[in-house]
Chain A
């Protein structure tokens, strides 16, 4: 098992290297260059040329890449054009909010989906099962953005249960400590629920079908033939095997939630990385946009890595000798 995990970690190094190269080259392919923001109608071409030379933009791409890579590795991602502050600081302000939102969304997803999937499978064919299936159809067919607007209208504006926008109350933020934290949680509840809605669908489907399949599988028949009581058959044999594909899809789900946060944060005017990403693209703030693309790319790679490791631990068939 440790060999498999070690091997998987080793593969990560060239993976991240290739990823950084890809992102750098994509940025190079974009029309214009880093000076685009400085160009005005009166800008003299000679000045531009001198600036290009000064910033090393006339160097071959691999030299530029190397400079960029070493800077990034030292934590220097450049400055945001819009905010006129280091990119790291700009992202640092937002990352906590997005993390909190995504963790809560993931939590809600599993808290809703796992019990529903289990109940639907155990009561297959009953109205409970059919109700769950109707829920999945609805959750699958309503776009997250529309769902967000509906939730704001119903739960925030009409019922007044949740705040309709923002990530934290300004006064609570100033107070700090527990007051600030609970205010953050309160603000994240509605957007997190909205995000969880879509993610539950695939988990419910997977779990329900896996439980039904496993229930009639040979090894479960063996367990019953051994005189194992039905409840134990269920937890020890059926459920554990049925959870394998759910665990296997966990990484993909986390990525789905993070990328979903791009839209949800915009709908809820939630000050997180997703909203920052949209505004940086709109404002042509490429240092910020590039850093965020890199963040999402690395997150994706890490999520898959963690999934692989988790599966290695729970499924002995994956392990390499």
Chain B
């Protein structure tokens, strides 16, 4: 996709740590990322890799009582000339960014909507804080949004409660909330995971159409590589709190380099080509407290690889235009016989 690559969100050396029994453990452990304007940036990885922890860090939604964050999250939003470091924003400034410049879509639309408020009220709540529309205009805008997200009867949905809607409709309502203040960036955390397959496709179509219309960027957090192939412009693969590979989407699928990326792609049913047994990745993502903190973190799951294939302190290697890989083990990696 040819476009002028202008940075919208720059994450620099981000660490997000959670306190467990008095000690802090980093779930996001030194992430550098840049999301450009008008692109869909996907973050993939198994459960427990730190994807959601990172997504919530971007607008500081973690409970501050047991979370520590270091690094920089520079946001080049519309309206302000200079980039803002989200991690340094004060309460009121942060609330302006939340919902106003960055909209969030969550995984489970039932639990993500307040069960006691009508859909219309939940959309208007965002408008109250981010627009100066009066009551009547807010209602008109909410109706318009409900129509935009494909509700067949906006006037009815406006007065309904979340439990009265189907899963797909709830996610549409959630999207209407997220886009209501026309944000520059949408962060969608596994937006289709809780939905069945046909609804998934509809929701993805909707997100794509809205993105085109609003000219905003999307950060798409997912573990579904099919969704990535369909939606993303660029992809970051996360493992154990780190980004192990970033690449444009065609490059990532056509020329995956990092052992973890290759293992993930190899594990897609039907993608292994002729093999009867489905490939699985050796072992599991370690628990946050047991996360390896030194060397190549994925090496524990490729025990057949010789130790000298890895760097002692892994660094990023540029293997193509915009294509970066962590550690040197990509050079000699082979699947286990």
* Choice from A216, A221, A228, A316 contacting B129 with Cβ under 8 Å: A228
Q: Given the complex of chains A and B, what is the CA–CA distance between A315 and B117 in angstroms?
A: 9
Residues of B near A317 (CB, < 8 A) are 115, 161, 163
Q: A226-B98, A228-B125 are in contact. Are A316 and B104 (CB under 8 A)?
A: no
B126, A226: Cβ atoms closer than 8 Å: yes
Q: Which of A224, A227, A230 contacts B100 (CB 8 A)?
A: A227
Bound together, the chains give a CA A225 to CA B63 distance in angstroms of 13
* A218 CB within 8 Å of chain B: yes
CB distance from A230 to the nearest CB of B (A): 7
Please report the number of residue pairs spanning A and B whose Cβ atoms sit closer than 8 angstroms: 73
Judged by a CB distance under 8 angstroms, whether B177 is at the interface is yes
Minimum CB–CB distance for A316 against chain B, Å = 4
A residues within 8 A CB of B221? none
Residue B239 at the A interface, CB < 8 A? no
Cβ distance A82 to chain B, nearest Cβ, rounded Å: 52
How many B residues touch A, CB cutoff 8 Å? 30
* CB-CB nearest in chain B for A315: B116
Among residues 61 to 84 in chain B, which have CB atoms less than 8 Å away from a CB atom of chain A?
61, 63
Question: For the complex, what is the distance from the CA of A219 to the CA of B174, rounded to whole Å?
Answer: 11
Interface size band for A: 20 to 34
Per the 8 Å Cβ criterion, residues 215-240 of A in contact with B are 215-219, 221-230, 237, 240
CB-defined contacts of B163 to chain A, threshold 8 Å: 316-317
Complex partner residue of B114 from A215, A224, A241, A314, CB under 8 angstroms: A241
- Min CB distance B91 to A, Å, is 7
Residues of B within 8 Å of A217, CB to CB, are 111
CA–CA, A185 and B69, complex, Å: 56
Taking CB atoms and an 8 Å cut-off, the chain B residues in 86-141 that contact chain A are 91-92, 95-100, 103-104, 106, 108, 111-116, 125-126, 129-130
- B116 near A241 with CB under 8 A, answer yes
As a 0/1 sequence over residues 276 to 293 of chain A, the CB contacts with chain B under 8 angstroms (1 = contact) are: 000000000000000000
Inter-subunit contact A219/B98 (CB<8 Å): no
In the complex, the answer to whether B113 meets A219 with C-beta atoms within 8 Å is yes
A222 & B104 in contact (Cβ 8 Å cutoff):
yes
Residue numbers in B under 8 Å from A314 (CB-CB):
116
Most buried by A among B56, B96, B98: B98
> In the complex, which residues 289-318 of chain A have their Cβ closer than 8 Å to any Cβ of chain B?
314-317
Which among A218, A229, A237, A317 has the greatest number of chain B C-beta atoms within 10 A? A218
Q: In whole angstroms, what is the CA distance A97 to B199 when docked? A: 62
- A225 lies within 8 A of B61 (CB): yes
**Contact B112–A218 (Cβ < 8 Å):** yes
Give Cα A222–Cα B187 distance, bound, in whole angstroms.
12
> Can you give 27 A-B contacts (C-beta < 8 A)?
A217-B111, A218-B106, A218-B112, A221-B56, A222-B114, A222-B174, A223-B114, A224-B61, A225-B106, A226-B98, A226-B99, A226-B125, A226-B129, A227-B95, A227-B96, A227-B99, A227-B130, A228-B99, A228-B125, A229-B92, A229-B95, A230-B91, A237-B114, A315-B115, A315-B116, A316-B116, A317-B163
Question: What 9 A-B pairs have minimum CB-CB distances, sorted nearest first?
Answer: A227-B99, A225-B104, A226-B99, A218-B111, A227-B98, A227-B95, A316-B161, A219-B114, A218-B112
